[in-house]
Amino acid sequence: MNLITAIIFGIVEGITEFLPISSTGHLILTAQLLKTPASEFLKSFEIVIQLGAILSVVVLYWKSFFVKFTVLKKIIAAFIPTGIIGLCLYQVIKKFLLGNSSVVIWSLFIGGIVIVIFELLYKPKGTETEEIEAISYPKAILIGCFQSLAVIPGVSRSAATIIGGLGLGLKRKTIVEFSFLLAVPTMLAATVLDLAKSAATFNTGQFIYLAVGFIVSFIIALLAIKFLLYFIKNHNFIPFAIYRIIIALLFLLSFSGR
């Protein structure tokens, strides 16, 4: 890895983290396109720079963490399922799933089809929950369970939580913002856990690459959040689903052509 690839990874992460297209999946495919050798550092890098994107949420929604304690309690409740699953499956995820482009491609493809079907069948009833504070604790925990599906690269954490939240009767803007907030403890925990296990093996240059990717992803993610909030005012997620399917097919054709 070099500074240019670190910047590219940061841009990809910042753009894709909050869109329902899987940031982890895109980082894995980007590594393949850039011919970046698979390594334990690359896997850690892909985890850590996601926290950079996630911290943009703290900047934009700081009141939800430091003032609105009802919201904070709902976030903590939703984080519990992911925290437990992530801790228990950490070694499996890092060893067998992260870096596995085949898993990513099929997850993108199947996830895209699921999103299209859901959006075609989904009909708002007019009684959806409009405020995050009004989300019940059982629903918050269920949303956390949906988020746990994203331990599979390519599934998309945001897609899983948003589709799950819509199915549970939340307004689209409400679950999108709740998904933003829920990402903070999720990626903070993932980053702390990974660095605790891996940081001692990094050299000075690798820490510089981590810092660059982290900062770039933070800046780009600020713009991506604003874009998604604007987009959902008048659109559903079918365009993202089609994009997922096209990307998956392109990579499948690329593999078959080798």
pLDDT at 199: 81
- Going from N- to C-terminal start, the domains of the chain cover 3-256
Closest CA to 21 of 254, 215, 245: 245
Q: What is the dihedral of CA 198, 203, 208, 211, to 10 degrees?
A: 10
pLDDT at 71: 87
Tokens linked to 203: 């050299």
Rg (CA), the chain: 17
pLDDT at 96: 67
pLDDT at 258: 54
Q: Where are the alpha helices (DSSP H) in the chain?
A: 3-16, 23-33, 40-60, 62-66, 69-88, 90-92, 101-121, 137-148, 157-167, 172-198, 204-231, 238-256
Q: What is the pTM of this model?
A: 0.84
pLDDT at 8: 94
Query: What number of residues does the chain have?
Result: 258
Rounded CA separation 19/80 (Å) = 23
Answer whether 176's CB lies under 8 Å from 229's CB.
Answer: yes
pLDDT at 41: 87
Tokens linked to 124: 């708002």
Q: CA of 83: how far to CAs of 29, 80, 137, 144, 193, in Å? A: 26, 5, 16, 9, 11
Q: CA angle 130-18-64, nearest 5°?
A: 50
Rounded CA separation 93/52 (Å) = 21
Could you tell me which residues are beta bridge partners of residue 170? 129
Q: Render the burial of 37-62: b for 16+ CB within 10 Å, e for the rest.
A: eeebbbbbbbbbbbbbbbbbbbebbe
Tens of pLDDT along the chain (258 residues)?
889 999 999 999 999 988 999 888 888 889 888 888 878 888 888 888 888 888 898 888 887 777 778 888 999 999 998 888 877 877 777 776 766 788 888 999 999 999 999 999 998 888 888 889 999 999 999 999 998 888 888 888 889 999 999 999 999 999 999 998 898 888 888 888 888 888 888 888 889 999 999 999 999 999 999 899 899 888 899 999 999 999 999 988 876 555
Q: Residue 163 region, left (φ>0) first, then alpha (ψ -120 to 50), else beta?
A: alpha
